[in-house]
Amino acid sequence: MIETEETLFDCLAPAKLNLFLHVISRRDDRYHELQTVFQLLDWGDVLHFRRRDDGEVRYLQPLDGIPERTELSVQAAKLLQHHSGCHYGVEIYIDKRLPIGAGIGGGSSDAATTLLALNRLWRLYLPRTILQALALKLGADVPFFIFGRNAFAQGIGEQLQPVHLPARTFLVVKPAVHILTSEIFSSETLTRDTKRIKIMDFLAQQNIANSNATLTGSWPDNFGQNDMQEVVVKKYVEVARVLDWLSAIRPARITGSGSAVFAAFSSRSEAIQAKLLSGWESIVVSSLDYHPLYTFAS
């Protein structure tokens, strides 16, 4: 990333994985109580920003089928502008690298990266807590990317506690399926009564794995489950095929409510070897401890 007084270039909006995802209940407001652990990845869309002095927010080269008014990065810029009373505007260009509907947080990460970048570019210097509150208005996953660290999440995803996760290499496989989050959350077959856990349950499992070399590669893949997975694989045969294939190599599961399937590997070479065997679009990525723009809020 290159930073000057006027322009920010090459801001990575990192993807995420849900290492597990438990649906605890459905609230009266139709949102769901969740528990999950978010893992940041060193892979994502690349966003470009140029500050404007006329107050206009311009979105350059919109994606096909996605109106500018629904683009989360544009909504994020206008929300921050309204909240702060800032007279600056911005031009936003997104080099879209993350697949849509995969469950890896592309749109949410773009929105959070926009808030973080403009917090610096517009010289607002708002604290992280304020940005997270604004982020929640844009979507349940957006506050996590503002939080900027791997986290144990509860509520609808906005109650966040930092967790230290070991450095890992992941193979993420993406079949040619675009899944709407609302479709899965509204399914009558979705389990909504998974027993609530404590963060210490997760951390204890981590400590066991870290102290036992024979478990290398098994954690965190075998902790909990993704409650969305059963609904997704019944609706989308291609996702079920990918899951069956990857599970024969390593413990695997879907992330979020999307179509991407992932598995952790103990080495990059092992993950690359598995990628070469895959007949689907796939990528080998590394874990990330902090959002690249973490220092843009305090």
State yes or no: 99 annotated in a binding site: yes
The reported pLDDT for the residue numbered 201 is: 87
Contact 272, 34 (CB under 8 A): no
Query: Rounded to two decimals, what is the model's pTM?
Result: 0.92
The reported pLDDT for the residue numbered 208 is: 53
Of 70-74, 108-112, 217-221, minimum mean pLDDT range:
217-221
Q: What is the CATH number of domain 169-288?
A: 3.30.70.890
Q: For the stretch 242-257, what's the b/e string if a residue is b when 16 or more beta carbons lie within 10 angstroms of its beta carbon?
A: bbebbeebbebbbbbb
Give domain 2-163's CATH architecture: 2-Layer Sandwich (3.30)
The residue from 53, 78, 95, 141 that is catalytic is: 141
State yes or no: 101 annotated in a binding site: yes
Residues 166-225: tens digit of each pLDDT: 999 999 999 999 999 889 988 888 889 899 999 888 888 776 555 554 444 444 457 899
Of 69-73, 92-96, 164-168, 231-235, minimum mean pLDDT range:
69-73
State yes or no: 107 annotated in a binding site: yes
Average pLDDT score over residue span 44-50 = 96
Active site residue 16: yes
Residues 6+ apart with CB under 8 A from 198: none
138 has pLDDT over 90: yes
The residue from 16, 110, 174, 221 that is catalytic is: 16
Type of residue found at 196: R
Active site residue 141: yes
pLDDT band with cut points at 50, 70 and 90 for residue 246: very high
State yes or no: 105 annotated in a binding site: yes
State yes or no: 65 annotated in a binding site: no
Domain residues of the chain, as ranges? 2-163, 169-288
Average pLDDT score over residue span 280-286 = 97
Q: Which of 290, 295, 253, 238 shows the shortest CA–CA distance to 22?
A: 253
pLDDT band with cut points at 50, 70 and 90 for residue 1: very low
The reported pLDDT for the residue numbered 216 is: 42
